[in-house]
């Protein structure tokens, strides 16, 4: 156990918790104005909780390859009402805030978020480390080579798994020195963040080498372009591929799965868990 709010702990010794993606960007819920957009986003978060998500990840800045950065004011306006609304409607839920800006993370934590999900692994904003230490929030440390705007230009590694493992070990040490206990941290190899499809697939195949760092793993494969390369499918047709990647991740030891399609992923995990428990019982 380590990620929790005052009401509910999440058992991170148990594999296969679903984190539902709640993007609050202008392309997601905004036709019809700001008020409606907030209502719809909150409703979508509640829907994912009803489908069995353990955590809702609220994000106001797209970080997919080629995405442009947004300003702090804009990001705050997008995410804060949604965090507030979800916290009010779902006091038990675990909420994470997907941001690289300390002002956004701080306001979201004050509004009831429990976890900082910062794709820069707390390198992007110098104030983020102190906030992580003083707030007591959970932290997801993710590997990324480069920055979202340019990271897919020419990803290069000597050995991607060794490089990612070394990076995550270094970040764990930096955070420990800053007063963020390892018990609060989950690690993420950052699928699609400055990596070719082959790099991503190697990380999936050799996930166990990352587990050797002694922390739970979070994996985000949902609808990503590597799945498009493998299957030849456009983003709207990647659910089967996403389920296969999620199941592979959990079989290889992942604890948290970051997904768009919560109900389908929860079903897939139920089947895996039933098989796993039948094996354990014999
Ligand atoms: C992730 C993640 C994230 N992914 C965490 N946070 C995104 N902790 C946003 C593509 O190749 O994996 N872990 N926050 C979304 N980013 C991407 C990256 C989306 C690549 C799409 C692609 O299609």
Q: Does the beta carbon of 63 lie inside 6 Å of ligand 1?
A: yes
Pairing of strands 185-188, 138-142: parallel
Q: Would you state the pLDDT for residue 140?
A: 98
Closest CA to ligand 1's atom 17:
64
Contact 15, 250 (CB under 8 A): yes
The residues annotated as belonging to the active site are: 224, 258
CA dist list (Å): 250 to 58, 151, 196, 223, 247? 23, 27, 22, 17, 5
Pocket test for ligand 1, best of 17, 64, 75, 147 (most atoms within 8 A of CB): 64
Q: What is the pTM of this model?
A: 0.97
Instruction: For residues 55 and 48, give the distance between their C-alpha atoms in angstroms, rounded to a whole number.
Output: 9
Q: Which domains does the chain have, with CATH numbers?
A: 16-277 (3.20.20.20)
Q: Would you state the pLDDT for residue 67?
A: 87
For the chain, helix, strand, coil in percent to 5 are 50, 15, 40
Tokens of 128: 């983020």
Q: Does the beta carbon of 98 lie inside 6 Å of ligand 1?
A: yes
CA atoms within 13 A on the CB side of 220: 25
Q: Does the beta carbon of 161 lie inside 6 Å of ligand 1?
A: no
Q: Does the beta carbon of 197 lie inside 6 Å of ligand 1?
A: no
**Mean pLDDT for back-to-back runs of 10 residues, the chain (282 residues):** 78 94 87 86 98 98 89 96 98 97 98 98 97 97 94 94 98 97 97 98 98 98 98 98 98 98 98 96 86
Q: How many CB atoms lie within 10 A of CB 102?
A: 21
Closest CA to ligand 1's atom 16:
64
């Amino acid at each position: 156990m380590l990620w929790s709010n005052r009401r509910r702990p999440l058992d991170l010794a148990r594999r296969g918790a679903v984190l539902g993606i709640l993007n609050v960007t202008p392309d997601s819920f905004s036709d019809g104005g700001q008020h409606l957009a907030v209502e719809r986003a909150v409703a979508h978060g509640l829907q994912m909780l009803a489908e069995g998500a353990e955590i809702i990840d609220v994000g106001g800045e797209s970080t997919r390859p080629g995405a442009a950065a947004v300003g702090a004011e804009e990001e705050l306006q997008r995410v804060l009402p949604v965090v507030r609304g979800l916290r009010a409607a779902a006091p038990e839920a675990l909420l994470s805030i997907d941001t690289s800006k300390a002002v956004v993370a701080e306001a979201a934590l004050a509004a009831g978020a429990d976890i900082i999900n910062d794709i820069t692994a707390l390198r992007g904003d110098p104030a983020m480390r102190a906030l992580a230490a003083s707030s007591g929030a959970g932290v997801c440390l993710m590997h990324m080579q480069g920055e979202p705007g340019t990271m897919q230009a020419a990803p290069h590694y000597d050995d991607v798994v060794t490089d990612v493992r070394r990076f995550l070990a270094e970040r764990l040490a930096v955070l420990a020195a800053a007063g963020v206990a390892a018990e609060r941290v989950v690690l993420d190899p950052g699928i699609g963040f400055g990596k070719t499809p082959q790099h991503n697939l190697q990380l999936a195949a050799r996930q166990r080498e990352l587990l050797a760092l002694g922390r739970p793993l979070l994996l985000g494969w949902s609808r990503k372009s590597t799945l498009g390369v493998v299957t030849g499918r456009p983003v709207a047709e990647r659910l089967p591929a996403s389920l296969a990647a999620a199941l592979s991740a959990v079989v290889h030891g992942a604890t948290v799965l970051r997904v768009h399609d919560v109900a389908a992923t929860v079903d897939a995990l139920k089947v895996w868990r039933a098989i796993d428990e039948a094996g354990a019982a014999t």
